[in-house]
Structure 1
Amino acid sequence: MNDLEKASRRKMSFFATMKAVFWSFFGVRKKSDYEKDAQQLNPVHVIIAGLLGALVFILTLVMIVRSVVGR
């Protein structure tokens, strides 16, 4: 079994992955939490969570700009 297959079989839940990605976007992480997450996160979940987080961030910015501009 190669490294990618091993990594994709990790058992951390998608919700826990979303939480880790949120804190990463926010920029606040403890070193111990980062190391624990690096061992347990499923890389497929991280990619999906990152894309969803980026989409939510962009949509939030668009809504803020529209409300300020007055459209």
Structure 2
Amino acid sequence: MSDESGGAGPAKKKSGFVQVVKAVAWSFFGVRKRADLEADAANLHPVHLIIAAIVGAALFIGVLLLIVHAVVR
């Protein structure tokens, strides 16, 4: 029996900050289980993922610049 009561069924798990950061971090490494990928696609909001990816990329570039600056000095 399907529940079509307009939201009274099983609620989609809300994405937390840690879950979004973990998904973005694993995507930077390029290692991800298919089941985890599908769960993230079902539970995470795309806008949150995009924002976290931009922040993660900016942090990564910043760390690289700091390392290069320290080595060149």
TM normalised by structure 1 equals 0.80
Q: Which runs of 5+ in 2 are unaligned?
A: 1-11
Which of 34, 39, 43 does residue 40 from structure 1 map onto? 43
Percent sequence identity over aligned pairs: 53
Q: Which has the higher helix share?
A: 1
Q: What RMSD over aligned residues (CA atoms) do the two structures have, in Å? A: 1.5
Distance across 1 between alignment mates of 2:54 and 2:13? 20
Q: Tell which has more relative contact order, 1 or 2 (C-alpha 8 A, sep 6+).
A: 1
Distance across 2 between alignment mates of 1:23 and 1:56? 15
Which of 17, 20, 31 does residue 17 from structure 1 map onto? 20
Residue pair 1:21, 1:49 contacting (<8 A) in 2 also: yes
Correspondences of 1:1-71 after superposition (within 5 Å): 11-70=14-73
Distance across 1 between alignment mates of 2:45 and 2:18? 12
The code of the aligned residue for 1:26 comes to F
Runs of 4+ in 1 over 4 A off after TM superposition: none
Residue pair 1:10, 1:42 contacting (<8 A) in 2 also: no
Q: Which runs of 5+ in 1 are unaligned?
A: 1-8
Residue-by-residue CA offset, 1:18-38 (whole Å, 9 max, x unaligned): 110000011110111111111
